Chains A and B, each alone.
Chain A
Amino acid sequence: MKQLAVTGLHKAFGSHPVLTGVDLDVPAGSFTAILGPSGSGKTTLLRLLAGFDQADAGTISLGDRVVDRPGLHLPPERRQLGYVPQEGALFPHLTITANVGFGLRGKDRRGPRVAELLESVGLAGLGGRYPHQLSGGQQQRVALARALAIQPEVVLLDEPFASLDAHMRASVRADVQQICKAAGTTAILVTHDQDEALSMADSIAVLRDGKIVQYAAPQEIYTRPADPDLARFVGDANLLDGLIADVSAGTRPAGPAAGTGASEQPAAVDTILGRLPVEPAAAAGLLPGPVTVLIRPEQLELGPLGGPTDEPGCLAGRVVACEYYGHDAVVRVQPDGGAAGQQIIVRTTGGPQLPPGSAVSVRARGAVLAWTRS
């Protein structure tokens, strides 16, 4: 069942278009992220959903109610949407209890409902305090409890974790996700942080230049991005030049996963890493000729040091830098003979420390994505 439906939404400020036809259906009970870089219009979209601004064109429906269409604008107080703004925006002159109860009527403001809400966000007993007496993470939880108090069907989260430090962010994210699920509320999270979107959301709508360019599950967004820019936006990416090989050529390089079970002859692409199989599902629209190839750093592996580097599919190079993260490491490799700056990123787990200048070989695993270049 659709909880929120947006069709053809347009919004411009003066002569500057911000949203240019947004379409989005959000199923009930889901946790959806709207991901976009700064200036992509995501905050504008959120403000239109909440009713703080009015769209120029298009419709917004909540459940079976149309709340925004040309000639109709339901004010925010009648939409019953929970709204959690950046940095929480608690009312500084009110206690935590009064903050959480702000949207309730009469006696409910101090009643058991407020206590329940505070308990649900793990802050039982802090109702008498004032916002400045709480930590940033606690303030975020209060802001969520305040939004949930009016029992909204949809909760809008506007970059709520941006102001928290990295350590706190992970735990507050998990809590918020769990609280929304427990309350059965549809949540819409606006963020520019792809890690946050990938780790929290059931599905991600990527907003770019005022349009949704892809709307899919996180795995799909990461492994099958709609275009090279998007690939780069949602994670580290090697974007290589390639040439679609003659599909009838039978020779296939190593890569057991490629093309298994495909009835047709799988497409392959020639790159500096040799001839690589193209994901069958992505091969359909490809024209013969030059393409851009996406290889995620974790699809690459470093070959044995000093091993044979002249076999097909093996690229020789030198380590430029190695960023060590504990759980893994990112190695930047300058291919031998390539122009300076054209580096390949490889993500490795374990393995020896590689000082800059070490000679290595790089090899690709599995099938890759490719887009015909225009």
Chain B
Amino acid sequence: MTTAPATAPARSAAPAIVTVPARKPRRPAGLLAISLLVAALLAVPLVFLLIESGRAGYATVASQVFRSLTATLLWNTVRLTVAVTAACAVIGTGAAWLVERTDLPGRRLWAVLLVIPLAIPDFVVSFGWASLFTWMQGFRGAFIVMTLAVYPLVYLPVAASLRSADPGQEEVARSLGVGRVATFVRITLGQARGAILGGCLLVALVLLAEFGAFEMLSYQTFTTEIFTNLGLPTEVPAACALSLILVAISLVVLAGEGLLRGGGRVARSGPMTPRITLPLRLGAGRVPALLGVLVLIGLALGVPIGASIYWIFQGGVPSVSDSVSVSMADAAWHTALYGAGAAALDTLLALPVAVLAIRHSGKARHFLERSTYLVLAMPGVVIALALTYFSEQYLSGAGYQTAPLLVLCYTIMFFPLALVGVKAAIARAPADLDDVARSLGHRKLAAFGRITLRLAAPGLVAAFCLVFLEVVTELTATLILVPTGVQTLATQFWQYQSSLSYAQAAPFALVMIAVAAVPTIVLGRFFDRTRQAQG
């Protein structure tokens, strides 16, 4: 006769359930408006490309697309992208596993050295190889050079994910009777899956956008062909058509990565207490493993740096002529100026989009944020080309090859990079803290400035450095848009090496490596810390 004698969770259920309320504050109209403007700015190149192609007419574009050259370019581009991406996946993952999970001797040092090739521009790596070995040409040369230049794009995220993943899972697998190799395949690779895919995506996008290295190695891809067509006003439809194909391939890569990633999420159960686990003992495999890492570092780091030093001393007395040192100072100044301008602009523009994405969830806002990643599918040469034609069509050539247009081009190109960094930074500052500051009598913007900006500052600096670094080592768009009479480090280097003045080019190569290496190491540490702090 009793009804269900339910009991409230009284003292027996002491561990409180922390409620996480679905917080949807008022429509952030201002933020939304600014973010829309940013998204519109980023869409300019793509929209313009479509308009220009439409102006040329379907027949013209089709005649450009469906010809034998396109097939050759497609074959060259795709086979190199696939081959290098696969090689980078294997080398990057293998190196990361050796450094993070085994007792490889000297692995702390290798962890730093393995990342540095990221700081060496691809065209400097190819300069190192091509200037020393004449057989480094065509597919073979492009494959070796690009693999050595970009494998850190896989190494870095995989190493970070292995570091934060729970080694206990591997121990459990072993205790369940799964062997060492099977454990690596079933557990370790599974943990690093997202990082490997993300790294491969970056590698593929870099390959699609690369110009300098391929030009030097006489390897023809879409990007080099677009660049060649640029100089000829009659070839505008051709350049547009090729750009559209290139963007389409990039979109396929982006979508493919999204599909492959799917729902595979690396979860970690239990509290995030740091665990000390013994690294895997390599035993007899130590020597070959160590040799492998040393050879990799030697080829990726030693050859470009060694070649540069070799060419400086080639003239006998290492005397840097006055003209070189003057042009160097001038080029460095302009590089720094453009880099700082684009970096500051990107960090600033990414801020509202990041705040919107992190603090105000919603489908439309999510879409807005994701749309900015479309820029990733736009190689620098395409963005530069679109901006060039844009200034020709609508500004009657004003702005073309001026500093503002160049900085704008950098800003569009590297916005997604800045956004990733700024989002990570904003995520470190809980919105709750702003609320508290407001309840203590501070206005909205004051609270944001004193709390969120202050807490996000290290991440904002990191985002700034990341963009700056990219600008310093950018060649393709710079060659197209650099103001008349001005040289940056990259263009000056390019000019010298094009005229086979290797002794003059080499110092520029070394300066670019030095300028880029420091931020790379700092950034590596920052993202490492962020990852550990966030879990």
A residues in contact (CB < 8 Å) with B = 13-14, 38-39, 43-44, 47, 50-54, 75-83, 85-86, 89, 91-93, 102-103, 146-147, 149-150, 156, 159, 161-163, 166, 192-195, 232-241, 271-272, 292, 323, 325, 335, 338, 341-345
Contact = CB atoms under 8 A, between A and B. Distances in A.
A79 B14 contact: no
Interface residues of B, number: 39
Interface string B1-24: 111111110111010111101111
Contacts of B433: 89, 91
Interface string B423-445: 00000001011011111111110
B439 A240 contact: no
A272 B2 CA distance: 7
A22 to B, nearest CB: 16
B5 A77 contact: no
A193 B21 contact: no
A76 B7 contact: no
B451 interface: yes
Given A77-B439, A83-B440, 12 more contacts: A39-B19, A53-B26, A77-B441, A77-B444, A83-B436, A89-B433, A91-B451, A92-B455, A195-B10, A237-B8, A240-B1, A343-B5
B25 interface: yes
B79 interface: no
A333 to B, nearest CB: 10
Contacts of B436: 83, 85, 89, 91, 146
B174 interface: no
Closest CB pairs A-B (n = 6): A103-B440, A83-B439, A76-B438, A43-B21, A342-B2, A38-B19
Nearest to B25: A53
Contact of A338 (B2, B25, B442): B2
B454 interface: yes
A47 B14 CA distance: 26
Instruction: Name the prevailing secondary structure of the B interface residues.
Output: loop
B441 A83 contact: no
Interface of B: 1-8, 10-12, 14, 16-19, 21-26, 430, 432-433, 435-444, 447, 451, 454-455
Contact of A241 (B3, B23, B24, B437): B3
Contact of B5 (A51, A166, A195, A239): A239
Contact of A162 (B16, B451, B455): B16
B5 A344 contact: yes
Contacts of B444: 75, 77
A232 B433 CA distance: 36
A234 B7 CA distance: 9
B440 A102 contact: yes
A92 B450 CA distance: 12
21 contacts: A13-B22, A14-B24, A44-B21, A52-B25, A53-B26, A76-B438, A85-B435, A85-B436, A89-B432, A91-B436, A91-B451, A92-B455, A102-B440, A147-B439, A156-B439, A162-B18, A232-B7, A237-B8, A271-B1, A344-B2, A345-B5
